[in-house]
A and B are shown apart, each in its own frame.
Chain A
Amino acid sequence: MKSQIGVYICHCGLNIANTVDVEQVREFARILPNVAIARNYTYMCSDPGQALITNDIRDLGLTHVVVASCSPRMHEPTFRATIHKAGLNPYVLEMANIREQCSWVHSDRTLATLKAMDLIASAVAKVALLVPLQEREVKVTQSALVIGGGIAGMTATLDIANAGFQVCLVEKQTHLGGRVAQLDTTFPTQERVADLLAPVLRAITTHPNIRVITNADVEKVDGFIGNFRATIRARPTFVDAMKCDACGKCVDACPVNVPDAFDANLTTRRAIYRAPDARFVIDARACSFVQDRVCRSDPRCAAVCDRNAIDFSQTENLVEINIGAIIVATGAATFDATKKPELGFGTYSNVITSLQFERLAARQELQSVKDVVFVSCVGSRDATTGNTYCSRVCCMVNAKQARRIQEKFPDARVTVFYADVRAFGKGHEEFYDAVRKTGVRYRRGYVSEIFAAGGQTPKRDQKLIVRAEDTLIQKPIEVSADLVVLGIGMTPRAETNEIANVLGLPRSGDGFLLEIHPKLRPVETAVDGVFLAGACQGPKDIVDTIAQARAAASSAFASLCRGQVKIESATARVDEEVCAGCGLCVATCPYGAPALIARTGTARVNQVLCKGCGACEAACPSKAIQVMQCTPRQVLAQIAVLA
């Protein structure tokens, strides 16, 4: 049957019509091969615009449609639905992008009009060769996996569980709570974090739909949206929680001392210790008995335990689960302040990080001080460390901590050095105002150098000199300090690469995990069914983290709810008659869609995994693999008319 093509040229208001002579283009399109009708209209995507298309399909028996308008990313789904409504297969549509690729980027009306004609002729040549494709849906496993038990992961977990789905929450550490559990208070409301966390933790641990696996890593994820299979490696804590009565004798017996990461390395703890969630656990990496089967203590922890709760026979446990959606909430690391040697962190004990300040405050160990200096942007907005971004929380953390010191020790002279104060959140500017009112002084300039006052032999806690330029008086200054607090930024976790590899997630230039679109699709990733929440995607405060976690949860259960998900139809197919089984497509595909079938010796594409990107088609030496709607024949026809 001869194809009957309809061509629809959109003015897009004046977006296209101002630069492209749409009437001339219509005249041109009307006489192209197989074109039965060509029309132009102000807004093709409007209801009357779409009606023009549906009416023509019915009245003129159109077999294929070309819409010349904006990018297919914008309205291809719209027009596919339009022609489907009129009885055509949604895939016999071709978009000619005469807006982004023509009117928006050119100013010469004559040349732009000629280019629009070329783009349309090209689309017409291709559309006649398009074949109908079947739209397909797959069933969804109605449960989710959340990776990371911080405030983001816990919030997302609760939302999905409350919607009635099973959720497995996997946490790397032995306890839930993440970074937030280390903090003393929030900003700008100065609530105690412990009060904020307690109800969340209680809800998580008592929820019938939630399974928590702590001290565990997600090692492997196979499958695709709606049908993932995850392998989780759970490490032993060597303490039987059912038997342990938390007497603490084991801790006294343990001879090993290691820096306590939960206390931001301010204190040390034993290899067996009371974790932040009050459970006793053994840190396998620190315990010499776990590592080398030797312990220099006699009696050992196991010997002093009256209840035989310590069990070194515990082993790692592999858990496999099937889920339909995955939320990544692995958080961020804090900047390593030793990378700014000019600030003396690690040299002077009275130069501390903002996280250490939180721990001191939470432990109620803030000591009386006279001169305190807060340093902004340590490891943020800093090309020398590669962290060019703003960490978004440090300005308010500085402000909150400065206020805390000023209120606790009213005689203290508290100075915050800054270059810009970013108080963009709700209530933040007002908080900044209130902090200055307490007596905290802001001086504009980054801190350049910190060194010991009087005496050049470093004594760890002596008075310090802080050197900066006060840029408002335009002079270098020296300020003395008993305590310096470095407002450290956030960095991607070292393990980000591992989780990105396990799930096939791309990262942005700053090293954080990458969302599909910063505005329109902020929680979705390049892998369908995998969503992002919290600081793993970029630095965030608690407010934004929770908002994003709840958005990720909604996106996840949107697909879980339906029980079915639609999958891409314009996928790659293998002509098994032609395929030589070289395996180049398998090596090229970023989604793991093609596989070699042993029986036939040829490749086959998993239609659910395939995204239709075309990488395999370009790689295939025998042109055996072709992506539907982008076959060599179709693309060459498209190019031929341009010559």
Chain B
Amino acid sequence: MFDTESLVQQYELTACIQCGKCTGGCPIALKSALNPRALVYQMLRGEEFELVSRGELWDCTTCATCGLRCPKGVKAVDLIIALRAQWIESGKIPTTLRAPLTATLNQGNPLVLPREDRSLWADGLNVKNVADGAGIAMFTCCENAYDPRVQAMPRALVNLLRAANQDFGTLGLDEQCCGSEVRRIGEAGLFEYLRDDNLEKFRAARVSKMVTTSPHCFNVFKNEYGKHAIPVEHYTQTLAHLIADGALKFSKKFQATITYQDPCFLGKQNGIYDEPRAILKAIPGAKFVEMDRSRERSVCCEGGGGRMWLEGTNSQVRLANDRIAHALDTGANILATACPFCFLTLSDAVIATGNEEKIKVMDILQIANAAI
């Protein structure tokens, strides 16, 4: 049992006018029992319930559309995360989360792989350690560091930054999980540990500016690391600036019709809509087309909020599958994105919907790298 009144106070739920704009905008609500408005109302009524009967709490992707739509500034997603935290606190951790959380504590990544393998993605690239003096610290998402399907992205970023003569390095084996997904799963204690430990490591390595491969790391560093946070950019911002300044030039053609999936943590949550498009529009030979539901009206790929390790209550209907249909509808043969989670969920969906011959998912990093 939990104290509804303290949740009402902490998340300022009295502001809610029960208009339902959160639930109407929720990409999950149409296919799940998850109803952000009704959850807020339950808190306001002081109605207690058994958390374990509410499996739909694990359906939320923390895309944060609910909070973005709310006319009163209520962030229902924060309430959902808080309820997950109560659940985790009770020790009844969903089975598929146990290994990732334990590995994040012990090995610094949720992929259950050894800490000392973190830099294998950079094999042969001779990227220097940021502690040896570098202008920018490149922060690689655990997914990008360990998952062979997305290791090409950080390698591409290294290549692009070098092409633009940027002075950068990595934290090497001192790099570990940013804690974004850990926090959203509700493991507040582990998140705080990671945050403090990372801030200490950044300080020790004299990091003054960071660039991330994932919008999730970018968001947590920018918005949830507190007052000691280090200035951070997502790579789409960095590259867009370098292109605008003339430091990064494309010389090869990349003949394709490209559409773009806005990662929720980049677009909806941080308002970065233009930079990824600016990069894609600068690619020689490429034609950029927009999906109808884009930017503020984009659709979540269902990979955030711990959903990389959780199926949810309705795994038959996947948003990523819808998204492939949307992309195909534009006539694009490349679906670009700028997030390792989006890349993986959408790539799986291309296979699941049998569209391997029609469309390919690529990270903007891969496209840009192919054009220099």
Contacts and interface: CB of A to CB of B under 8 A. Distances in A.
Given A419-B17, A448-B21, A468-B24, A381 B71 contact: yes
B24 A469 contact: yes
A451 B27 CA distance: 13
B291 to A, nearest CB: 5
Nearest to B74: A383
Interface stretch (B122-130, B193-201, B277-285, B292-300): B292-300
A6 B14 CA distance: 52
A575 interface: no
Contact of B20 (A456, A471, A478): A471
B17 A458 contact: no
A157 B105 CA distance: 75
Contacts of B68: 384
Contacts, number: 102
Nearest to B329: A456
Interface string B8-51: 00000001011111111110011000010110000000000000
A457 B71 contact: no
A341 B295 contact: yes
B71 A446 contact: yes
Contact of A448 (B25, B291, B330, B331): B25
Contacts of B26: 476
A448 B18 CA distance: 13
B96 to A, nearest CB: 27
B24 A458 contact: no
Contacts of A341: 295-297
Contacts of A447: 21, 24
A449 B326 CA distance: 16
Nearest to B38: A474
B158 to A, nearest CB: 34
Contacts of B21: 445-448, 468-469
Contact of B30 (A420, A446, A476): A476
B29 A476 contact: yes
A377 B20 CA distance: 13
A450 B291 CA distance: 14
Given A342-B296, A419-B18, A474 B35 contact: yes
A341 B298 CA distance: 11
B232 interface: no
B164 to A, nearest CB: 32
Given A381-B17, A451-B292, A476 B73 contact: no
Interface in A434-473: 444-452, 455-458, 467-471
Nearest to B323: A456
A452 B292 contact: yes
The residue among B24, B38, B68 with the most chain A CB atoms within 10 A of its own CB is B24
B73 to A, nearest CB: 5
Contacts of B331: 457
B183 interface: no
Interface string A326-369: 00000000000000011010000000000000000000000000
Contact of A446 (B19, B35, B292, B295): B19
User: 4 closest pairs, A vs B, by CB?
Assistant: A448-B24, A469-B20, A448-B25, A445-B20
Given A377-B71, A451-B293, 12 more contacts: A341-B295, A342-B297, A384-B70, A445-B20, A445-B24, A446-B19, A446-B24, A448-B20, A456-B329, A457-B329, A458-B290, A476-B30
Interface of A: 341-342, 344, 377, 381-384, 419-420, 444-452, 455-458, 467-471, 474-478
Interface of B: 15, 17-26, 29-30, 35, 37-38, 68-73, 289-293, 295-297, 325-327, 329-331
